Amino acid sequence: MSAVPPLSESNRRFMSGNEAIARGAWEAGCNLAAAYPGTPSTEILEYAAHYPEMYTEWSVNEKVSLEVAIGASLAGSRALCAMKHVGLNVASDALMSQTLAGVGAGLVIAVADDVGLSSSQNEQDSRFWGRFAHVPVLEPADTQEAYEFVRRGFELSEQFNTPVILRLTTRICHVKGVVNLGQRQEISRNEGFVKDPARLIMTPGVAKKRLPMMFERDEEVQRHSEASELNFIQAGSDRRVGFVTSGPTYMHVREAFPDAPLIKLGLSYPVPFDRIRQLADQVDQLVVVEEVEPLLETELKAAGIELLGKEILPRIGELSPNVLRPAIAGLLGEEVVEEAPVKPPVEIKPPAPRIDPATGINVFPRPPTMCVACPHLGIYYCLSKIRNTTISGDIGCYTLGAGHPWNALDTTICMGASMGIAHGLDKGRVEADKDKKVIAVIGDSTFMHMGMQGLLDITYNKGNVTILLLDNRAVGMTGGQDNPASGRDIHGEEAMQVDFRKLCEALGVKPERIHEVNPYELPTLFTALRQEVKVPEPSVIITNQPCVLVDHYGAQPALTVDDDKCTGCGNCLDIGCPAILVTRRETVVKPNGSEKELAFVKIDSGACTGCDLCPKTCGPDAIVPLANYVRQ
């Protein structure tokens, strides 16, 4: 792990929001940061790990990461927990109790919402958790505020004895800006853990007594929000429309309507109703600009404040200036410039070929796919060849197995759900599916995150599911972070390495039903699958090759295609490897009069890692080692 770069003389640095949050936590005297990787929040912990004064760890899931942070807070250390929006669903059990118990040292929960669904299965709005859990919510509008608000979050947490949510969006996490930095402030809390059973033993009797205290705290934070400099009104000369903004929407409104009055909510919950009423009295019409749910809008209308919101603004995606301008123009009766419509979700299906205008070649476009030589390629190739199955998928790189050319997943819901859903597909099957085999596909990190409980449920309740446990020794989808399967910690140092065979046996799978296979050995993998789906009890097939993007992946000599031997059968394309490219297509007439399209291919030898998957699909043995081939 590289050292922290020194400050320049001006103490200014160009950094992303995620990097700024890590820096702000360090400067605030934070001693512990824990997280589970998930875009757009992943880099917060990766940057935090550069600061030796902070203990950092990849936890096995978000609930554990929050519990670790809670423990550190109660021990007297400021603590940061980071996750993406769906991660707070996992961590909510701990959150909802700790908001009653309170904190020790400051506790900040950085939650990154994926507005626009760039890398997530939903677009949920984490601001709801502030209301649900009765905790303050801070919303930075740019990188500088992301840095500053972490520090303010620790102060608020300690002032009001509560966790604080720092609500981020992809726009904050990944956009870079200039940040004015300071130095680390060591926070002295020498009392350590203070025994307080009447606060920390969350039995019904204790929790019942804490409820009135939580409501009193709500009122205190409400008064603070009304007076806080984080919530302020900006005057404007064009009073036809005023805006209520928070987070990145403040920047969007300022860009689109620089002369309009607005209120910026940095501490967006509790809502400063009186401040917003002041703005409402200054303008002809008031519009709430919020991403993504009409949360503030509903609360303000309930408080008797007249305004508009989702009646004129979309309920999905970012509210950027090109979205705001036509909406407000329509409100004011001005000419509306037509904007491009929001594209519907992309249906997962094979894309149509297209003609390359430069070469005239019929080009087969590449949909989102896995990496060259990914160990998951052979798995989905085999799954696509097995008939009469229902396949339950999970969250990770292997979710792409739902796409072309494999079309080998039938469900994907949330982290770890492949196990429980597969069990339900088995136990809930109707007569029409009585002979179908049920398969669950899950990655190593996801299995440890939330899948183990599902496997235990399958074995305990005598389910009949074949589990493919894809151990690529990394959290591949979010950038190859280490986990207990990799044998290394966040600093790259040696750590305990989980033994999945022993773990699955401990969870109730019979030893003879656990198989470890090399996913590049297609015949062995295919045979194991064919055999295990026929067995009427739980079985686990563990694959054992690392992600191709991690530093300990061992590439082999590249391959190429012998043009003289290639028959255009296209079998190698079923692997789905991006290094295999179609050079031309031909249509031939078979003896029975039907037509068959041939696809002649080449291999991008610069990208090929010699995994040896595609030669196993090639009947004419046209795929050969590049080093042994001399092109005629």
Bind-site residues for [4Fe-4S] cluster: 566, 569, 572, 577, 608, 611, 614, 618
Determine whether 229 is exposed, middle or buried from the number of CB atoms within 10 Å of its CB (0-12, 13-18, 19+): exposed
Nearest to 55 by CA among 587, 489, 503: 489
- Maximum pairwise Cα distance, the chain: 88
Q: Rounded to 10 degrees, what is the CA torsion of 530, 531, 536, 541?
A: -90
Nearest to 2 by CA among 34, 63, 46, 33: 46
Question: Cis omega (within 30 of 0) on the bond before 367?
Answer: no
Point out which residues pair with 262 in neighbouring strands. 234, 243
Contact between 136 and 156 under an 8 Å Cβ cutoff? The reply is yes
Per 3-state DSSP, the chain is made up of helix, strand and coil in percentages (nearest 5) of 35, 20, 45
- 455's tokens: 């496997």
Point out which residues pair with 176 in neighbouring strands. 16
Contact between 545 and 519 under an 8 Å Cβ cutoff? The reply is yes
Nearest to 170 by CA among 204, 126, 200, 133: 126
Q: Which residues contact 252 (CB under 8 A, 6 or more apart)?
A: 245, 289, 318, 319, 320, 321, 324
Q: Can you spell out the DSSP letters for 326-339?
A: HHHHHHHTPPPPPP
Contact between 82 and 168 under an 8 Å Cβ cutoff? The reply is no
- 146's tokens: 């992301």
| Amino acid at the residue 514 | I
State the sign of the Cα–Cα–Cα–Cα dihedral 625, 627, 628, 630. Answer: positive
Q: Can you spell out the DSSP letters for 505-538?
A: HHTT--GGGEEEE-TT-HHHHHHHHHHHTTSSS-
Question: Binding-site residues, please?
Answer: 566, 569, 572, 577, 608, 611, 614, 618
Nearest to 314 by CA among 115, 519, 608: 115
Cα(452)–Cα(301) distance, rounded to whole angstroms?
45
Q: Return the ∠ at Cα 519 (arms to 499 and 39), rounded to 5°.
A: 70
CB neighbourhood size of 72 (10 A): 23
| Residue whose tokens read 């204790």 | 206
Q: Rounded to 10 degrees, what is the CA torsion of 599, 602, 603, 604?
A: -120
Residue 207, phi then psi, degrees to nearest 5 = -60, -40
- 58's tokens: 């990849």
Cα(189)–Cα(185) distance, rounded to whole angstroms?
13
